[in-house]
Structure 1
Amino acid sequence: MSKGERVLVISGPIGAGKSTLAQGLVERHGAHRVSSRELLLARMGERSGDRRTLQEAGAALDRETGGRWVADSVKEVLQRQEGPPRLLIVDSVRIASQAEALRRALGSRVVHVHLSAPEQELAARYEQRRSRAVSDSEGTSFEEARADATERGVETLAEFADLALNTHRHPPEAVLVQVACLLGLFGRDVERLVDVLVGGQYGSEGKGQIASYLAPEYDVLVRVGGPNAGHRVYEELGPYTFHQLPSGTRAAPRARVALGPGATLSLTSLQQEIADCRIEPGRLFIDPQALVIEPSDVAFEEESLRKQIASTAQGVGMATARKVLRTAAKPQVRLAKELEELRPFLSPTREVLEDTYAGGGKILVEGTQGAGLSLHHGDYPYVTSRDTTASGCLAEAGIAPGRVRKTLLVCRTYPIRVQNPDGGDGTSGPMSRELSWDEIAQRSGLPLEELLTQERTSTTKRQRRVSEFDWSLLRKAAALNAPTDVVLTFVDYLAASNRSARRFEQLTPEVHHLIEGIERVAQAPVSILSTGFGFQNILDRRAW
């Protein structure tokens, strides 16, 4: 359906954010808003009135018409509309019979959204709005307004809504994103043999474990990025963190592994992983154009970026900057082809990929970090030194977009960022609705000590910051990556009981509710879930 074929009906108590949502849709999507106040005044033949008077008049009309007066008024508005059809917002309905009458009159054109918030927050919002009011429409106190019988029962409408949101946990922009996606307001010969796995938040989404789980299905595993990203894999003998090689290197011993021309290499880390994984020439292919990090790059970042923006200070950014400077770089840039130690593994990634295409083999590209840290699309300067989107990963690997079959976007139930820097007055960057690990422990039932121990960065071992699920960031990541599938990790952080789930239906209702929202906003199915660490905690719902 087009925008004009939809009628959004909003319900919720005073102060829940109904008008904010409506105004956001007007400004962002060109919707047309009609308020029940306006409709009521028109019925009364009046131009103004205080809240109590309007509540009494509305209640009388409801009794007289069985709630049909709102639907009749909306139909009149629709008949008067001129020009191209527009989304019509009804702000708001207050009883079930009003909503039911609208559905009877307009059928499938109606979408009903209910907003709510804790009573204390509703009161604070109401008084704040009341203090700014320029008319007498907010003359009554919050307690008086809520004492109205219809107002007291408005929360029952959540049961009949297509979407119910708590605006205490969802800021206005997140509510707007979810509702816009519910309404469908966001607009999506070579053999497609490449799947891309990327982060949807600020990194540390659990991509390593997912990549390792998927790896046995592929012929070639490609890792992009550099050693500033650590991907932890939980194996039978304990966890192992990959900084340079693909995370499925040990899980899929028959797969070839490749580091593309856009990779940034720490010789020490790379050689250690080659030894740990017992990689022989003929299995690992390092592109000759891959960039080598120098000790001076690490020293520079240790002195500046670590204190300013909590950088991992692995030298990746400085090495990349020198690469951009080309012949003007000091010291001169060294590429992989110049290192004798890497000679047995050197081979143009393009050739390895073309051979795989010719044989019909499948390729997994493992991205690092997340969309919120993209150099171009993140909150600059609190970003990494590369583009972390699927497009950026493909460019680093040397893979054409037309080769892509699936794009998997990995997201945590609670996004994290690294802790703010020590010894400096900088920050690691903004987060929406930041929480404490104590609150996560209380919500989930997981031990606080376990969370604090687990939630340290793979590379620098710093404590992580955590926040509510960021719906605006998800929409941004979805727009940048166009995922075909979403992977939801850390599901046990919603409730510890989810760790014992072995089937989708065994997960808690909160998980099901979150998945519904993610699929609506990302416009892609949640195909894989992780309920803990280890392959036994992965629920695979893929249809491919």
Structure 2
Amino acid sequence: MSAGARVLVISGPMGAGKTTLAQGLVERHGALRVSTRELLLARLGGRGGDRRSLQEAGAALDRETDGRWVADSVKEFLGRQDGPPRLLIVDSVRVASQVEALRKALGSRVMHVHLSAPEQELEARYNQRRSHAVSDPERASFDEARADTTERGVEGLANAADLVLNTQRHPPEAVRIQTACLLGLYGRDVERLVDVLVGGQYGSEGKGQIASFLAPEYSVLVRVGGPNAGHRVYEEEVPYTFHQLPSGTRAAPRARVVLGPGATLSLTALHQEIADCRLEPGRLFIDSQALVIESSDVTFEEGSLRNQIASTARGVGAATARKVLRTAAHPPVRLAKDLEELKPFLAPTREVLEDTYARGGRILVEGTQGAGLSLHHGDYPYVTSRDTTASGCLAEAGIAPGRVRKTLLVCRTYPIRVQNPDGGNGTSGPMVGELSWEEIARRSGLPLDELLKQERTSTTNRQRRVSEFDWVLLRKAALLNAPTDVVLSFVDYLAASNRSARRFAQLTPEAHRLIEGIERAAQAPVSLLSTGWGSRYILDRRVW
């Protein structure tokens, strides 16, 4: 066995819940279970018998080997496996000498859990199982089974156990969790394994491309928000826009992909992206609490919010409002767990994260929109339907702040906001120092037709508005998010020559001055810069 493998030995009287615990650890933690009954049958050459016969045969082997036959059988069993399991469960031992032999053979990797319950409870459980034992109608009564000498003495194993649990007081899930904690399956401390990527302005800061660039460094990619945000990723110059899945889904094919309990789902967009990215159950995990957008949500927003505040009208806000109304919502709320088509992908986000924490895996949380659009901190009512800060993203994903290692704040050299459906610029929200794309083209030397083509929203294909860099908004975003790092995108909009830069020193003096100012205002280094479309235009200055 490998040095990191654990061996759990379970003991307890019949009916105490030993098999239930073992099955729970197999299903939840991928443990490998071996039953001493199977080991005994193998020793007997496959010759079976009733419970009493097996009890007598086991007792005889214990006397002959001083309990070593279990340890020897376990070692032989492990020798037949392709590789050592993360956790092996021995279900179950019946005498102290068996435990002692296992500890001697396998050392400190062995942990012993003893389960028990009051006699009356054990009898009730035994009789319930007996009534369902169609294959064994002549099964012994409870009193007859308990009359066995070894069975009567099994409670004595509690004295040497590392953990003793009364399964009448502790339900099966509580027993599993306490056992998993004893084994260190959740990790021994709270490591900072989570990095959060959020926008610092009004969205469209280029988060998708940065998330795709970073994704191969992570074990799990988490996307929060909903389909009202499109994250465009350039793959060999051909863009793909993610509305539901994390932007690194294609760039990191081995990473697990998670849509957390705060996610809002457009089934059409979700199924299309699942097909495009060829995701299968076991790689994509959708929390059962994720909210489903109904067609009536989209209709409602198209009839009001689109013209009033330039909403993308994807139904996210209306669906979220219904979720808040709970049982008073009309139409009734549907969650991911209510859809048969999503069941192959359903898994509690917390379990995926717990497994990742325990293995020391890195997690990237990808936020949507930007700090200036936060429902609580933006220019209400010209905001989105959720809190877009790092704290809000963590809450949607179900991640504690103490897990965060890095917070990356993405900002553009020239912030943008969405244009009105009618071409006006008043109702999508205020901007400081608004400019024209003609002025950006004049300053940068980039072709105007290229800017007009590229600067259309990923979700609604509207022309974007643009403004001078907003230092007040940057300071506000820094206060709300406390970034450890800043990502500056669209550096080529300062000067077209920046697009050919492959080193920081090759950027223009204007770019250097802007970066210095951002680092002072945000109190964080500018660790990543993008100078064009695609990952090859990203300058990586990180020291982590």
Find runs of 4+ consecutive structure 1 residues off by over 4 angstroms.
423-426
1:302 corresponding residue in structure 2? 302
Q: 1:356 to 1:425 in 2, by over 3 A?
A: closer
1:339 corresponding residue in structure 2? 339
| Counterpart check, 1:245 vs 2:250 | no
What RMSD over aligned residues (CA atoms) do the two structures have, in Å? 1.0
> Where do 1:474-513 residues align within 5 Å?
474-513=474-513
Q: Using the alignment, how far apart are the partners of 1:538 and 1:236 within structure 2?
A: 14
Q: Using the alignment, how far apart are the partners of 1:327 and 1:423 within structure 2?
A: 39
Per the alignment, in what secondary structure is the counterpart of residue 358 of structure 1? helix
2:414 corresponding residue in structure 1? 414
> Where do 1:196-235 residues align within 5 Å?
196-235=196-235
Cα displacement (A) at 1:424: 8.6
Q: Using the alignment, how far apart are the partners of 2:395 and 2:214 within structure 1?
A: 22
- The C-alpha deviation readout for 1:489-534, integer Å capped at 9, x for no partner, is 0000000000000000000000000000000000000000000011
Cα displacement (A) at 1:304: 0.2
Q: Using the alignment, how far apart are the partners of 2:514 and 2:209 within structure 1?
A: 21
1:360 corresponding residue in structure 2? 360
Q: Using the alignment, how far apart are the partners of 1:250 and 1:424 within structure 2?
A: 37
- The C-alpha deviation readout for 1:344-378, integer Å capped at 9, x for no partner, is 00000000000000000000000000000000000
Cα displacement (A) at 1:237: 6.1
> Identity of counterpart residues, as a percentage?
88
Q: Using the alignment, how far apart are the partners of 2:499 and 2:237 within structure 1?
A: 20
Question: Which residue identity is paired with 1:350?
Answer: R
Q: Using the alignment, how far apart are the partners of 1:341 and 1:420 within structure 2?
A: 36
2:455 corresponding residue in structure 1? 455
Question: Which residue identity is paired with 2:460?
Answer: T
Residue pair 2:237, 2:533 contacting (<8 A) in 1 also: no
Residue pair 1:486, 1:527 contacting (<8 A) in 2 also: yes
- The C-alpha deviation readout for 1:141-192, integer Å capped at 9, x for no partner, is xxxxxxxxxxxxxxxxxxxxxxxxxxxxxxxxxxxxxxxxxxxxxxxx5110
Cα displacement (A) at 1:320: 0.2
> Where do 1:436-455 residues align within 5 Å?
436-455=436-455
Cα displacement (A) at 1:422: 1.9
1:153 corresponding residue in structure 2? none
Question: Which residue identity is paired with 2:262?
Answer: G
Q: Using the alignment, how far apart are the partners of 2:430 and 2:453 within structure 1?
A: 23
Q: Using the alignment, how far apart are the partners of 2:466 and 2:453 within structure 1?
A: 14
2:313 corresponding residue in structure 1? 313
Q: 1:451 to 1:268 in 2, by over 3 A?
A: same
Question: Which residue identity is paired with 2:233?
Answer: V
Q: Using the alignment, how far apart are the partners of 2:463 and 2:424 within structure 1?
A: 16
Per the alignment, in what secondary structure is the counterpart of residue 368 of structure 2? coil
| Counterpart check, 1:535 vs 2:535 | yes
- TM-score, length-scaled by structure 1: 0.65
Q: 1:286 to 1:520 in 2, by over 3 A?
A: same
> Where do 1:255-294 residues align within 5 Å?
255-294=255-294
Cα displacement (A) at 1:423: 8.3
Question: Which residue identity is paired with 1:397?
Answer: A
Question: Which residue identity is paired with 2:506?
Answer: Q
Q: Using the alignment, how far apart are the partners of 1:425 and 1:482 within structure 2?
A: 31
Structure 1 unaligned spans of 5+: 1-188
Q: Using the alignment, how far apart are the partners of 2:334 and 2:426 within structure 1?
A: 32
Q: Using the alignment, how far apart are the partners of 2:432 and 2:408 within structure 1?
A: 23
Cα displacement (A) at 1:421: 3.3
Question: Which residue identity is paired with 1:320?
Answer: T
Q: Using the alignment, how far apart are the partners of 1:424 and 1:474 within structure 2?
A: 26
Cα displacement (A) at 1:226: 0.1
Per the alignment, in what secondary structure is the counterpart of residue 227 of structure 1? coil
Q: 1:456 to 1:317 in 2, by over 3 A?
A: same
Question: Which residue identity is paired with 1:430?
Answer: P
Q: 1:426 to 1:331 in 2, by over 3 A?
A: farther
Question: Which residue identity is paired with 1:483?
Answer: P
Q: Using the alignment, how far apart are the partners of 1:389 and 1:216 within structure 2?
A: 24
1:393 corresponding residue in structure 2? 393
Q: Which has the larger radius of gyration?
A: 2
Per the alignment, in what secondary structure is the counterpart of residue 422 of structure 2? coil
Per the alignment, in what secondary structure is the counterpart of residue 529 of structure 1? strand
1:329 corresponding residue in structure 2? 329
Question: Which residue identity is paired with 2:531?
Answer: T
Task: After superposing the two structures, state which structure 1 stretch, 420-429 or 378-387, moved more.
Answer: 420-429
Residue pair 1:308, 1:426 contacting (<8 A) in 2 also: no
Question: Which residue identity is paired with 1:504?
Answer: F
Q: Using the alignment, how far apart are the partners of 1:449 and 1:425 within structure 2?
A: 21
Question: Which residue identity is paired with 2:479?
Answer: A
- The C-alpha deviation readout for 1:386-426, integer Å capped at 9, x for no partner, is 00000000000000000000000000000000002328996
Per the alignment, in what secondary structure is the counterpart of residue 492 of structure 1? helix
Question: Which residue identity is paired with 1:407?
Answer: T
- TM-score, length-scaled by structure 2: 0.65
Question: Which residue identity is paired with 1:403?
Answer: R
- The C-alpha deviation readout for 1:198-247, integer Å capped at 9, x for no partner, is 00000000000000000000000000000000000000261000000000
Question: Which residue identity is paired with 1:355?
Answer: D
Q: Using the alignment, how far apart are the partners of 1:199 and 1:470 within structure 2?
A: 14
Per the alignment, in what secondary structure is the counterpart of residue 298 of structure 1? helix
Q: Using the alignment, how far apart are the partners of 2:377 and 2:518 within structure 1?
A: 21
Q: Using the alignment, how far apart are the partners of 1:495 and 1:271 within structure 2?
A: 40
Q: 1:517 to 1:423 in 2, by over 3 A?
A: closer
Residue pair 2:336, 2:342 contacting (<8 A) in 1 also: yes
Residue pair 1:308, 1:425 contacting (<8 A) in 2 also: no
- The C-alpha deviation readout for 1:274-332, integer Å capped at 9, x for no partner, is 00000011000000000000000000000000000100000000000000000000000
Q: 1:309 to 1:358 in 2, by over 3 A?
A: same
Question: Which residue identity is paired with 1:458?
Answer: S
Question: Which residue identity is paired with 2:469?
Answer: F
Structure 2 unaligned spans of 5+: 1-188
Question: Which residue identity is paired with 1:532?
Answer: G
Residue pair 1:232, 1:241 contacting (<8 A) in 2 also: yes
Question: Which residue identity is paired with 1:202?
Answer: Y
Q: State the number of aligned residues.
A: 356
2:521 corresponding residue in structure 1? 521
- The C-alpha deviation readout for 1:10-43, integer Å capped at 9, x for no partner, is xxxxxxxxxxxxxxxxxxxxxxxxxxxxxxxxxx
Q: Using the alignment, how far apart are the partners of 2:492 and 2:280 within structure 1?
A: 38
Q: 1:541 to 1:290 in 2, by over 3 A?
A: same
Per the alignment, in what secondary structure is the counterpart of residue 369 of structure 2? coil
Residue pair 2:262, 2:291 contacting (<8 A) in 1 also: yes
1:35 corresponding residue in structure 2? none
Per the alignment, in what secondary structure is the counterpart of residue 197 of structure 1? strand
